[in-house]
Amino acid sequence: MMTDTPAHPGLISLQGIGKRYQLAGQELSILNDVCLSIAKGDSCGILGASGSGKSTLLNILGLLDLPNCGRYHFAGHDIFSASPDQLAAIRNQQIGFVFQSFNLLPRLSALDNVALPLSYRGVSRHESVEQALRMLEQVGLAERAHHRPADLSGGQRQRVAIARALVGKPSVILADEPTGNLDSTTAQEIMDLLLALNREQQVTLIIVTHDPHIAERLDRKILVRNGVVQEAGCL
């Protein structure tokens, strides 16, 4: 159900991707001729200094932003020819996001936060709550299901966010500095959780980070420098 036969090798395939912004009348080039291919089950770190364009790359990978030029195929879908609704559906069914600042909805309980992606898929309320509860159990937070995010610690919030990213059974998890706001012990636990998911469930893991220790634990390291992408170890 999730994947058609991909027309291009790999789950994610970027060719000649460029991204420019108009800023105060000046053309600002963020990404130049990015070519990248990520296969199902990979774990990649995207590394780079602040302002190198790594967040922009993540936004493009996550279909939150559209590149100006190039070719991008995600699980067989041509991103340039997809409608906004189709992009939303791909995000909903194929991608799970984990953010540095957790990005939980403060008005909703942990359970409702986790159940939210399912509501955009036509799953009934009852069923989505059941699945969300199972997912919270998996990250070890079942007894906190009815707490608001404000009542949870940073590590707990990130675990809720991971449960939310996983509830839709995505093929890719995109994490933007997932441990950036956590202390080192908690960061370790979160990384263990993410890597376990990658290992056990073959979920493709893409993590933006500037922490070399985290990058060490991932299979591939992609360096972004001044809008140009290099793969460490390959070059």
Partner 1 sequence: MSLRVEQSLSQLLHEAFISLRTLGKRSILALLGIVIGSSSVVALINIGHNAAVDAAMIFKDMGTDTLVAQFPPKGNSPATMRASLDLEAVRQAVPGIAHIGALTLFSGPMVFHGRTANANFVGTTPDIKDAMRIVVREGRFLSAFDANETYGVIGDQLAQALGVPGDPVKLGDRVRINDYLFLVIGILHSQPRAILMPVQANESLFIPAEGMRRIYASPQIGNVIIRATPGQDMERIARDASAALQRQLTDHTVDIQVPQQMIDGMTRQSRTFAYLLLALGAISLVGGGVGVMNVMLMNVSERRREIGIRMALGARQRDIRNLFLLEAVTLTAVGAACGAVIGMTAAWLYAWMSGWAFALAAAALPLGVGSTLLVGLFFGIYPAVSASKLQPVEALRDE
Binding region for partner 1 (CB under 8 A): 1-4, 59, 62-65, 75, 84-86, 88-94, 97, 101, 103-105, 107-108, 112, 116-117, 119-126, 128, 164, 168
Report the DSSP beta bridge partners of residue 232. 221
Nearer to partner 1, 32 or 93 (CB): 93
Write the DSSP assignment of 186-222 as a string of letters: HHHHHHHHHHHHHHHH--EEEEEES-HHHHHTSSEEE
d(CA 20, CA 142): 44
Tokens of residue 182, six digits: 């956590």
Amino acid residing at 54? K
Minimum CB distance to partner 1, residue 185 (Å): 26
Minimum CB distance to partner 1, residue 212 (Å): 25
Minimum CB distance to partner 1, residue 126 (Å): 7
Nearer to partner 1, 97 or 220 (CB): 97
Minimum CB distance to partner 1, residue 21 (Å): 11
DSSP state at residue 50 = T
Sign of the four-CA dihedral 141, 132, 177, 197: positive
Minimum CB distance to partner 1, residue 232 (Å): 27
d(CA 67, CA 71): 9
Nearer to partner 1, 43 or 55 (CB): 55
Nearer to partner 1, 59 or 138 (CB): 59
Tokens of residue 230, six digits: 């290099």
Tokens of residue 26, six digits: 């000046």
Nearer to partner 1, 4 or 143 (CB): 4
